[in-house]
């Protein structure tokens, strides 16, 4: 799988890590130890940091770029379990649950990562319990998010789920343009489908319906929200069993 050790000096990594909220307050020399034990890499878009089932020897910290984390079932059906952006650690589950990677991580854009051997990182956490608490914070939030999505997939219709996914993505990765909010990273219809637990056809149909209504503008791997409020309304609207009609 792609990725080369890069020649760029350490100073840049050091600065990135020092600025990282996870490592706030950690003495510089302890950080240096982490960095020296680890490996810095760059990745082109579309490559896999790791595959579901790979044995996990360490942790990735995504310094730059975007990665999607995918879970696959026995028959090859996929669900996007997480969209990770700059600063996020990847491979936490494998590291702490002490098992092979439970999902695959694929770069969506050119990325830079720092890889840290698991044993080193665990030792580091024992020395820096405050950082452990921050990771607990992070995992707790991810768990919360997963529960929320579980509820949504169990209870909401696709239309509403898709609206929510778009609104959330726009919030996290939206770029303001003259026309509206444009999603900064290019997602295919299929990836969108995997994000909301449906099929690309259904996504395509819904998006085009919304385009006809003037709510969005579509392109190849490109979506602009022209009337975000409409989508928000759709996303939040109350819906008991048997909706209130649209």
Nearest residue (CB) to DNA, 92 versus 200: 200
Which of 183, 188, 209 lies closest to 199, judged by CA?
A: 188
CB 71 within 8 A of CB 51: no
Nearest residue (CB) to DNA, 9 versus 219: 219
Tokens representing residue 108 in the block: 């969506």
Q: How many residues bind DNA (CB under 7 A)?
A: 23
Told to check if 201 binds DNA by CB under 7 A, we report: yes
* CA–CA gap between residue 26 and residue 35 (Å, rounded): 13
Told to check if 218 binds DNA by CB under 7 A, we report: yes
Residues that bind its own copies (CB under 8 A): 71-79, 81, 92-93, 95-99, 102-103, 122, 125-127, 129-130, 132-133, 135-137, 139-144, 146-156, 194, 197-198, 236, 238-241
Is 90 strand, coil or helix?
Answer: strand
Residues 103-162 that bind DNA (CB under 7 A): 157-159
Which of 69, 74, 80, 71 lies closest to 197, judged by CA?
A: 80
Told to check if 199 binds DNA by CB under 7 A, we report: yes
Nearest residue (CB) to DNA, 61 versus 234: 234
How far from chain centre, in Å, is Cα 37?
Answer: 26
Nearest residue (CB) to its own copies, 11 versus 55: 55
């Amino acid at each position: 799988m792609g990725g080369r050790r890069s020649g760029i000096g350490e100073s840049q990594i050091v600065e990135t890590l020092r600025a990282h909220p996870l490592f706030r307050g950690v003495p510089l020399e302890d950080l240096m130890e982490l960095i020296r034990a680890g490996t810095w890499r760059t990745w082109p878009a579309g490559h896999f940091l790791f595959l579901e089932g790979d044995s996990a020897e360490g942790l990735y910290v995504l310094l730059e770029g975007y990665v999607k984390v995918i879970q696959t079932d026995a028959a090859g059906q996929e669900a996007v379990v997480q969209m990770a952006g700059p600063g996020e650690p990847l491979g936490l589950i494998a590291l702490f649950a002490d098992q092979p990677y439970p999902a695959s991580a694929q770069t969506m854009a050119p990325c830079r990562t720092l890889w840290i051997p698991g044993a080193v990182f665990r030792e580091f956490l024992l020395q820096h319990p405050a950082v452990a608490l921050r990771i607990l914070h992070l995992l707790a939030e991810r768990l919360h998010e997963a529960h929320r999505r579980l509820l949504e997939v169990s209870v909401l219709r696709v239309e509403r789920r898709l609206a929510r996914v778009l609104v959330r993505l726009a919030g996290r990765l939206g770029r303001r343009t003259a026309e509206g909010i444009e999603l900064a990273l290019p997602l295919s219809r299929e990836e969108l489908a995997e994000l909301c637990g449906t099929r690309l056809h259904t996504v395509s149909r819904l998006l085009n319906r919304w385009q006809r209504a003037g709510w969005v503008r579509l392109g190849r791997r490109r979506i602009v929200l022209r009337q975000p409020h409409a989508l928000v309304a759709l996303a939040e609207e109350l819906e008991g069993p048997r909706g209130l009609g649209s």
